[in-house]
Amino acid sequence: MDSAKKQNTLGILFVMSPLVLSFLFAMDIYIPDVPELTQVFHTSAATLQITLSIFMLTTGVGQLLIGPFSDQLGRFKIALASAIAFTIASVVCALSNDIEILIFGRLLQALGGCGMLVIAFSATRDLFEGDESAKIYSLLNCCMGISPLIAPIIGSYLNAYLGWRFSFWFLSLLGLIASLLIYFRFSETLPINKRVKVTRALFSRYRKILLHREFRAYAFCVLSAMSMFFVFFSFSPYIIIKVLKKPSQDFGFYFFTVGFTFFIGSYISAFTSKKIGIYKTVTLGALITLFAGLFMLLDFYQHGVTVFNFIAPCMILGIGGAFLLGAGAGGAMNPFPNFAGTAAALLGCVEFAGSALIGYFVLLWKGHSTIPIALTFIILSVASLLMCLKNKVTNRQG
């Protein structure tokens, strides 16, 4: 690679990384604040959980709209509008004094963050091809792996020493940095002659993909994994801070252990998918997450809630869930080489919006135990195994 091309690659990463990190930090940095906010806003835990669910739901639905409209209007306008919306939304959240305003702020924040995430990956696709694009995607995915490792730790300390509002002020700063980088350093990557208008044909493609048997099977596995992680994200501050009485500033370090196993699982999954195939990797992932759920449930009935029987199974989930997410996404995308972007948008919608709905209903289960978490792991793992087995048997019969 010559020096000019290398410099261009570094420049693209310099601009794109804050776009990806802004979205991911908005998901993770806020988690340690959740238990305290039930008292701040004088509301129930179930109501406050809407601020988590609405973020996931909006992200899922937003991908179906933002991606196609960026194909029509170009990347720069959507990227700048998304970054500004994210920044304003973060300020709204930081200044909110009632739960309704916070929910509205999180919804707008999700739209902005989703827009930046979509543009980061679509602009990369515009600029790079083949091995070079795979390299850039991998580097951007490193940002995605870093966020759950450090964002909750930052959020924990901000909340402990400065208060919950400073988590959102931190996100406002990230959004401002992203806005300035886009305005001064981001050039339009999609020429006018390559732009595609949004038509009804788009929705016909969505329908065709959704009806594909293989897509449904593997997309369900991706949905299951994200739902398990979302339930862990949502319950973990209550279990660790409220039930186990651990200091809020220590929360991020417990979260780090699960993020670390997910990072390792993602790395291993890349090799197992190539070595033993997508089906076996997904099946192995579902078996691992099933074991995590059974471990958590059985140990709870023996010892009650402990740090070990909460964190250890979730660390196991980190590995199995990474297998389901990585290989499952590959299996879902496999049948659609000609419109991979559309399939990716629909998969993202199923993954985020579906997990938001599942998580919302699981979080209605009141109590201070790990039973709802364990049962979620078990039920979704078994369902994933059955979906994969049904798809394999149907393919053989076909």
What's the confidence (pLDDT) of residue 19?
A: 83
What torsion, rounded to 10 degrees, do the Cα atoms 219, 225, 229, 231 define? 80
Are 101 and 166 part of one and the same domain?
yes
What's the confidence (pLDDT) of residue 173?
A: 95
Are 313 and 172 part of one and the same domain?
no
Are 159 and 276 part of one and the same domain?
no
CA pseudo-torsion sign 359, 362, 365, 368:
negative
For residue 44, being part of any structural domain is answered with yes
Are 259 and 157 part of one and the same domain?
no
Rounded to whole angstroms, how far apart are CA atoms 249 and 294? 30
For residue 144, being part of any structural domain is answered with yes
Are 175 and 220 part of one and the same domain?
no
Are 122 and 232 part of one and the same domain?
no
Are 210 and 115 part of one and the same domain?
no
Rounded to whole angstroms, how far apart are CA atoms 226 and 231? 9
Report yes or no: 19 and 120 within 8 Å, Cβ to Cβ. yes
Boundary of a domain, candidates 186, 218, 249:
186
* Domain harbouring 209, CATH code: 1.20.1250.20
For residue 178, being part of any structural domain is answered with yes
Work out how many domains the chain is built from and give that number: 2
* Residues in contact with 82: Cβ distance below 8 Å, sequence separation at least 6, in sequence order: 66, 111, 112, 113, 114, 115, 116, 119
What's the confidence (pLDDT) of residue 7?
A: 41
One-letter amino acid for residue 295 of the chain = F
257-268 burial by CB neighbour count: b if 16+ within 10 A, else e? ebbebbbebbee
Q: What is the DSSP letter of 198?
A: -
For residue 1, being part of any structural domain is answered with no
What's the confidence (pLDDT) of residue 100?
A: 92
* Residues in contact with 19: Cβ distance below 8 Å, sequence separation at least 6, in sequence order: 79, 83, 116, 117, 119, 120, 178, 182
CA atoms within 13 A on the CB side of 70: 32
pTM recorded for the entire structure: 0.81
For residue 191, being part of any structural domain is answered with no
Range of the domain at 229: 205-393
Rounded to whole angstroms, how far apart are CA atoms 161 and 32? 13
CA atoms within 13 A on the CB side of 302: 9
Rounded to whole angstroms, how far apart are CA atoms 334 and 218? 10
What is the residue-level pLDDT of the chain in tens, covering all 398 positions? 444 344 466 667 777 778 888 888 998 888 888 778 888 888 877 788 788 888 888 988 888 888 788 878 888 898 999 999 999 999 999 999 999 999 999 999 999 998 888 888 777 767 765 445 545 554 565 566 677 778 888 988 888 888 899 999 999 999 999 999 998 888 887 888 877 787 888 888 888 889 999 999 999 999 999 999 999 988 888 899 889 998 888 888 888 898 889 888 887 887 787 788 888 999 999 999 999 999 999 999 999 999 999 999 999 999 999 889 888 888 887 787 666 567 778 888 898 899 988 988 888 786 678 999 999 999 999 999 999 888 775 655 55
For residue 148, being part of any structural domain is answered with yes
